[in-house]
Amino acid sequence: MTQDQIKKSIKTLKVQLTLGQKVEYWLNFISICAFLYIMGHIAIENSIQNRELSLSSLLVITVFLTFFRYQYLGTKLKAQNSNLTEQEFKQANTATAILNEWDILSNRKDYFTAIKKSNWIWEGIKVTAILKNGKLYVNSMVTPSVRAHPFTFGHNRKNKVKLLEEYKSVLEGNDVLENANIELEKRENDFWKESEWTLANTLKRIVGYLFSIIFIMIAVLAIVEANFQLLFFGVFLLIVSGTYIVYDIKVILEKRKKQGHNNKHIS
């Protein structure tokens, strides 16, 4: 982001996007609307013909308005006063990126941006922070791309909270970089040591696989029906369920391989 873009972002309290990013950002919204239309146009047409608002058409309209509000406010910057120095700003940004496995795109004295990769958001989540004239501006949004989707499951709010926590920590005099590296090493050791078959993990897996099987059955039925509307929905469910199962099996196999290697090394 250039200095002019930073100034404009502060003035409008919105992350400034390039023309290409704006086009992709709103094309993404249009594609979601197209999906909603495919799923709900029958209900809306029936409502128009019957001259009454059905529950299903009301649901479609509500989802559309919710997505529009989410998209419109997605670039909004949260502003607050700050006593951070430029060096503290950069240190806290780096520490947060280390702790949360963000890929840093830029970390300057007054501007920070990073991407949080996600298994369910193909383009990841973009985190932005600006420090200017004693004020701090923070934003977290789905990366502006036609390949992205808006379902962050609360991660936008969590990203902003984590960033603000590190800013607070560095102002308290903590060595946030050292603490981040120690915490990351501890997490990694705990992750590889933890069994995937604890009671909590087993229950999560049972629920996850149960829903995946149900979704796959619905997807197969939808594909067999060969109806365009159902076909689109079926393929979507198949991709979601398949991605969850493949990722989960991959984690189990990687852990088993890592634990076997560690046990062999110890013996």
229: pLDDT strictly greater than 70: no
Residue 61 has pLDDT above 90, yes or no: no
**What is the length of the chain?**
267
pLDDT value, residue 245: 86
Q: What is the pLDDT of residue 265?
A: 45
Task: Indicate the pLDDT class of residue 220, thresholds 50, 70 and 90.
Answer: confident
Higher pLDDT, 65 or 96: 96
User: For residue 170, what pLDDT is reported?
Assistant: 95
For the chain, domain boundaries? 3-176, 194-266
Phi and psi at residue 131, to the nearest 5°? -120, 115
Instruction: Read off the pTM.
Output: 0.69
Query: CA–CA separation, 113 vs 137, rounded Å?
Result: 12
Question: Which of 149-163, 175-189, 218-232 shows the highest mean pLDDT?
Answer: 175-189
pLDDT of 36: 66
- Please report which confidence band the pLDDT of residue 55 belongs to, taking 50, 70 and 90 as the band edges: low
Q: Is 95 exposed, middle or buried (0-12, 13-18, 19+ CB in 10 A)?
A: buried
Helix axes of 86-100 and 176-193: crossing angle, nearest 10 degrees: 0
Q: What's the pLDDT tens digit per position in 108-137?
A: 999 999 998 865 556 788 999 999 999 999
**DSSP E strand stretches across the chain:** 78-81, 102-107, 111-116, 125-132, 135-142
Q: What is the pLDDT of residue 84?
A: 95
State the average pLDDT for the chain.
Answer: 82
**237 or 24: whose pLDDT is higher?**
24
Q: What would the two tokens of residue 80 be? A: 């607050």
State how far the Cα of 167 lies from the Cα of 125, in Å rounded to an integer: 20
Question: Is it the case that residue 248 has pLDDT exceeding 60?
Answer: yes
- pLDDT score of 267: 46
Considering only residues 159 and 219, tell me which one the structure prediction assigns the higher pLDDT.
Answer: 159
**Does position 13 have pLDDT exceeding 70, yes or no?**
yes
Cα Dmax for the chain: 76
Q: Which residues contact 22 (CB under 8 A, 6 or more apart)?
A: 144
